[in-house]
Amino acid sequence: MRLSKLADYATVLMCRMAARPELTYSASQLAGEAGLPPPTVAKLMKLLARAGLLTSLRGGRGGYLLARGPEAISLADVIRAVDGPPGLIECSIHPGRCSLEGGCGIRANWGVVNAAVIQALRDVSLEQMNGGPAAMAGLRRLRD
């Protein structure tokens, strides 16, 4: 599985926001802090807000803030908001599109692997990605 650049950038932005979840962030502020192009950040913020991961505030003190606590937003949530459902192979995301699907003897096994990868992404929160000691212990458990 390979994440798109946009999903990677979205993860960077969300982790940056999760470090100080009480703050409101502008797209231009986040672009400067992360070293990303402002139009890309603006696009990502809109996608993340549309997915319910960010709340958009209008006005002079407007911007974005996390819609839930960083412990309640997973990597799977961020990836899904930008790339759609995560999956390793075409038939795990879009059944019926593969010409080999009807006679494939390993499709069910790929489904098991795909489910395990998705669960691993669900099990890692933004809080864990930002890495306090307890969070890192949780990530080590996933790795082992």
Identify the CA nearest to 1 among candidates 76, 72, 71, 70. 76
Tell me what pLDDT residue 104 has.
74
pLDDT tens-place string over residues 54-98? 999 988 778 999 999 999 999 999 999 999 887 777 666 666 666
Helix ranges, the chain (H): 5-19, 27-34, 38-50, 75-83, 90-93, 107-122, 126-129, 133-143
Average pLDDT over every residue of 96-110: 70
Domains and CATH numbers, the chain: 5-143 (1.10.10.10)
